[in-house]
Amino acid sequence: MAATGVSNGLTVLRGTLITCHDDPFLTDPAKAFSVESDGIVLCRDGMIEAVGPAAELLASVPAGTPIASYPGCLIAPGFIDTHVHYVQTGMVASYGKQLLDWLDRYAFPTEIEFANEAHAARMAATFCDELLRNGTTTALVFCAVYPQSVDALFAEAERRGMRLVAGKVLMDRNAPEALRDTPQKGYDDSKALIGRWHKHARSLYAITPRFAGTSTPEQLDAAGALWREHPDVCVHTHIAENRREIEWTAQLFPSAKNYLDVYDRHGLIGRRAVLAHGIHLGEEELCRCHESGTALSHCPTSNLFLGSGLFRVGAVKDPKRPVHVGLGTDIGGGTSFSLLATMGAAYEIAQLGGRALSAVEAFFLATLGGARALALDDRIGSLAVGREADLTVLDPNATPLLTLRNARADSVEDTLFALMIMGDDRAVRATYVAGRLAHERAA
Ligand code: GUN
Ligand code: ZN
């Protein structure tokens, strides 16, 4: 590997710094987003110790410290994927079905393989490789129903120093027998996993009922009780993704006034609850998300691939009752691990809804917006002193066509826009986790 810029717990990077400090949907984008055209990020022991113009900070870099210099590249906070299934990595791009049939035909059989610990360990390594190759340093992850699938992922992430949030799926009905637990076993296994992994190194736990349709009311009650006992873990589930799913859920929970109300009645919404999709939520449900602090994960490549529908980002982020939103790749319903590609798909979906999504807005969703969705914005998601030093280095000249387009860019925002429309893992020059080089693109 090339010079890493690491010495005695000190890592120094130089390039064009980009970061959000606030939400550009709600505040002046010129204030929410900042660019430092020749900047330095100085990291010590995994944290950002100084960040600012090279002209000011170079003098404070101890003599002899190597500097990882990235001329022409953008240095950004590591991307945050707020919804992804590591146990579906191998079945990405499976043909021809929409959600409920796709689960039966492809997702469930693939997840059964994770009862095998060696398989889970191999796939956890592949999954972490993919995250880092795509500049993603934090993800909120669905594992399989088996606790050993969670152990394998956290063990691998901790080996790499990553901050992952993950949990065992809870499912006690409407799934193959081999993938079902019970309310009591799901509760006990999840509680044991919280004890083993939550706040261990950088790991955090998420209570993970798959969605309303695969849990009995008793299991959702148990999940709600567990969250009350451990209020600092996340809750992670799916909601209002597909029309047939919504009708089916209404039949299963006839007394609920809408889909969100199923989770609400079981104490499963609030700050640190992240609901994937939410494409078809109504106004009343969005208001309830807003007032409760519940976040949505927008998964555009998945919504296109599974034919689920078009998320209305403008309506969800309405300044009158904004909802926390991050971006999710939703592998294997989604088609790319790249948050750049996911930002590009979010732009295309917004266009189909009659609204352009700016590069700064999309970048916010992929970084600070994701951190806020997870209530981790005091630790990750921006370049600021005291934040954890998870960084991604983007190369606007990664391909011949990007180089051609970037030559016409009239601003850093325009360069970022070209990257999100045309970029993918090739545009990730390097990824740093807690100040250490964790991935570097081959020359
Ligand atoms: N809803 C319930 N389970 C799943 C899943 O695995 N993927 C997607 N996209 N939606 C779901
Ligand atoms: Zn999903």
Res. 245: pLDDT tops 60: yes
The Å distance, Cα 382 to ligand 2 centre, comes to 26
CA-closest candidate to residue 341, choices 420, 262, 402, 410 = 420
pLDDT band at 142 (very low <50, low <70, confident <90, very high): very high
**228, pLDDT greater than 60:** yes
- Quick one: average pLDDT of 298-302? 98
Residues having CB within 6 Å of any atom of ligand 1? 85, 99, 103, 107, 210-211, 238, 241, 302, 330, 333
Q: What percent of the chain has pLDDT over 90?
A: 98
pLDDT (mean) for 231-235:
99
308 CA to centre of own chain: 19
Check pLDDT > 60 for residue 3.
Answer: no
Q: Which ligand is located closest to the Cα atom of residue 304?
A: 1
If you average pLDDT over residues 374-395, what whole number do you get?
98
**Contact, 56 vs 42, CB < 8 A?**
no
Q: What is the pLDDT of residues 386-411, one digit of tens each?
A: 999 999 999 999 999 999 999 999 99
Q: Is 290 buried (19+), middle (13-18) or exposed (0-12) by CB count in 10 A?
A: middle
CB neighbour class for 276 (10 Å; exposed up to 12, middle 13-18, buried from 19): buried
Digit-coded pLDDT (tens) for 304-347 = 999 999 999 999 999 999 999 999 999 999 999 999 999 999 99
Domain boundaries, the chain: 6-78+382-440, 79-373
pLDDT at 243: 98
Q: What is the pLDDT of residues 179-200, one digit of tens each?
A: 999 999 999 999 999 999 999 9
Tell me: the pLDDT tens digits for 66-87? 999 999 999 999 999 999 999 9
Supply the pLDDT for residue 2: 42
Q: Is residue 128 scored above 50 in pLDDT?
A: yes
Beta carbons of 208 and 142 less than 8 angstroms apart: yes
**Interatomic CA distance for residues 381 and 297, integer angstroms:** 15
Mean pLDDT of 271-276: 99
What percent of the chain is predicted at pLDDT more than 70?
A: 98
CA of 339 to the centre of ligand 2 (A): 15
Over residues 358-375, mean pLDDT: 99
Indicate the average pLDDT of the chain.
97
6-78+382-440 — its CATH code? 2.30.40.10
When pLDDT is cut at 50, 70 and 90, the band that residue 5 belongs to is low
* pLDDT score recorded for residue 443: 74
pLDDT at 121 over 70: yes
Residue 103 CA, ligand 1 centroid: distance in Å: 7
- Asked whether 381 and 390 are in contact (CB, 8 A), the reply is no
Residue 59: count of CB within 10 angstroms of its CB: 7
* Predicted local distance difference test score (pLDDT) of residue 9: 87
pLDDT of residue 1: 40
Check whether 230 has a pLDDT greater than 50. yes
For a substitution probing ligand 1, which of 83, 92, 99 has the most ligand atoms within 8 Å of its CB? 99
- Planar angle of CA 51, 53, 59, nearest 5 degrees: 85
Beta bridge partners of 18: 35
Could you tell me which CATH number the domain at 79-373 has? 3.20.20.140
